Amino acid sequence: MTEHTTGRVDHEADLRKAGIRITRPRRIILRIVSETDDHPDAYEIFRRAVKVDKNISLSTVYRTMKLLEEHGTIQRHAFAGGPSRFEHAGEEHHDHLIDVETGDVIEFRSDKIEKLQDEIARELGYDILHHKLELYGRKRRSA
Amino acid sequence: MTEHTTGRVDHEADLRKAGIRITRPRRIILRIVSETDDHPDAYEIFRRAVKVDKNISLSTVYRTMKLLEEHGTIQRHAFAGGPSRFEHAGEEHHDHLIDVETGDVIEFRSDKIEKLQDEIARELGYDILHHKLELYGRKRRSA
DNA sequence: ATGCAAATGCAAATCGTTTGCAACAAAAAA
DNA sequence: TTTTTTGTTGCAAACGATTTGCATTTGCAT
């Protein structure tokens, strides 16, 4: 068994199991998204991929992102105005608190809220695939 | 004083006060967005506007939406994948559940979640000014 | 190794949105 | 009210992000 050097999940095996072909471009893209900390858009992923294999096309990046998204390997974030940005999923989910004054982004997580969301969705007849929660706040000055 | 027939806020006066010209297209668009319950996108607003005045252009709709957004009259929602959708602001706060298959947007509100958010923010040392919660789900097929 | 379905690269198409510009209309000035 | 000023419009063309058609190549089961 070939053990991969990253300590993480073996996505390739995962995808293979789902009947998805592991091609050279896909392997490269997969590596890029699973090794990055930030939230690159398709073009940025393409730019990084080209450094590894000059032939990779932007179309393939887009196609692969869609594939990985459907398979749950990555998550897509759609910001107003700009391109979609992607994030390696499978890490622990978190939400964001944005400091409106400084622009700082604080990550947090609340199981209670997650649970409530599921409840609400169920009541409305839906299953939640994912969600986005952003709190916009100001640092409280202790009176 | 010309009293308008809608029982609501007089946006025209508001905008005038802000030094914004009230033109025929703007008046029509304003009426459409303030009278609808759903979350139309620019093209849908355009479609409705054309019924009132055949000459109105899609560009003007876009320009007006940006204007109204900047002025706080409407709110823009950038849901994943699709076009921006608009909503008349100033109503009671609510969150959104987006049907990933149809694009339908369902409004909901949960005081519990609102309260939890405040709690979390307080723990992190913040006061929440506003927030955005979007659930992306798929309609549950009753087994 | 071989065959075939699936994936690729490329260019062209598509979608949502913005922009340049000449004609036009709203508010200000006369 | 007419004129002037200045912002707004409609149109078409441009744009950025993404998707697609198609001929070629590739993974991978046999």
- Asked whether residue A112 falls in the same domain as residue A43, the answer is no
Distance of B24 CA from C25 C1′ (whole Å) = 10
Tell me whether residue B93 is annotated as binding: yes
Among candidates A106, A129, A132 on the partner chain, residue whose Cβ is nearest the Cβ of B138: A129
Contacts 24+ apart (CB under 8 A), A114-117: A116/B110, A116/B112, A116/B113, A116/B116, A117/B113, A117/B133, A117/B135
CB contact under 8 A, A136 and B113: no
Is B129 a domain residue? yes
How does DSSP classify residue A80? S
Which residue, B132, B123, B114, B105, is CA-closest to A113? Answer: B114
Which residue, B19, B25, B27, B21, is CA-closest to B10? Answer: B27
Cα(B57)–Cα(A15) distance, integer angstroms: 47
Measured at the CA of B79, the angle between CA B140 and CA B30, to 5 degrees, comes to 115
Chain B hits for A118, CB-CB cut-off 8 Å, are: none
CB A39 within 8 A of CB A70: no
Is B67 a domain residue? yes
For B25, the 3-state DSSP assignment is helix
Measured at the CA of A60, the angle between CA A54 and CA A61, to 5 degrees, comes to 85
Element (H, E) at A77: strand A74-78
Among candidates A108, A121, A140 on the partner chain, residue whose Cβ is nearest the Cβ of B97: A121
- Asked whether residue B19 falls in the same domain as residue B84, the answer is yes
Average pLDDT value over all residues in chain B: 87
Nucleotides of D under 7 A from a protein CB: 7-13, 16-21, 26-28
| Residue range B70-120, pLDDT digits in tens | 998 998 988 777 899 999 987 778 899 988 878 888 989 888 999 999 999
Query: What are A47's two structure tokens?
Result: 């730019």
**Is the confidence at residue B67, as pLDDT, over 80?**
yes
Which residue type sits at A63?
A: R
- Asked whether residue A76 falls in the same domain as residue A131, the answer is no
Residue B62 is part of which domain span?
Answer: 11-88
Is B70 a domain residue? yes
Q: Residue A26, CB, less than 7 Å from strand C?
A: yes
Distance of B80 CA from D22 C1′ (whole Å) = 29
Question: In the structure, what pLDDT confidence band is assigned to residue B65 with cuts at 50, 70 and 90?
Answer: very high
| Residue range B12-57, pLDDT digits in tens | 898 998 889 999 999 999 999 999 988 999 999 999 999 999 999 9
**Is the confidence at residue B60, as pLDDT, over 90?**
yes
- Asked whether residue B76 falls in the same domain as residue B102, the answer is no
| Residue range A61-103, pLDDT digits in tens | 999 999 999 898 998 887 767 899 898 886 677 888 878 777 7
For the segment A44-70, the average pLDDT, to the nearest whole number, is 97
Q: Tell me, yes or no, if A125 comes closer than 8 A to chain B by beta carbon.
A: yes
Is B142 a domain residue? no
- Asked whether residue B101 falls in the same domain as residue B36, the answer is no
